[in-house]
């Protein structure tokens, strides 16, 4: 069984070793986004909710 070590960011669609779960819009869906998008999304965002780190590759 193969385990992917990277996940795709919901916002920028790039592959990352680390993704964070959050809600960032009025739909309130949980999505996985990278740290850059996380920082960007939470600025002045009343919908933002942080759900914790859920994806991290093992060394």
Question: Is residue 17 close enough to count as binding Zn ion by CB under 5 A?
Answer: no
- With respect to Zn ion, which residue has the nearer C-beta, 12 or 17? 12
How many CA atoms are closer than 13 Å to the CA of 44, on its beta-carbon side?
0
Would you say 21 and 11 are in contact if contact means Cβ atoms under 8 Å apart? no
Question: Is residue 12 close enough to count as binding Zn ion by CB under 5 A?
Answer: yes
Residues 6+ apart with CB under 8 A from 15: 6, 7, 8, 9
Question: Is residue 9 close enough to count as binding Zn ion by CB under 5 A?
Answer: yes
Which region, judged by CB under 5 A, interacts with Zn ion, from 9-17, 24-32, 46-54?
9-17
Binding stretches for Zn ion (CB under 5 A): 9, 11-12, 34, 37
């Amino acid at each position: 069984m193969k385990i992917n070590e990277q996940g795709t960011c919901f916002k920028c669609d790039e592959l990352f070793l680390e993704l964070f779960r959050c809600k960032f819009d009025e739909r309130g869906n949980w999505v996985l986004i990278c740290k850059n998008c996380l920082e960007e999304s939470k600025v002045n965002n009343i919908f933002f909710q942080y759900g914790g780190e859920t994806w991290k590759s093992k060394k």
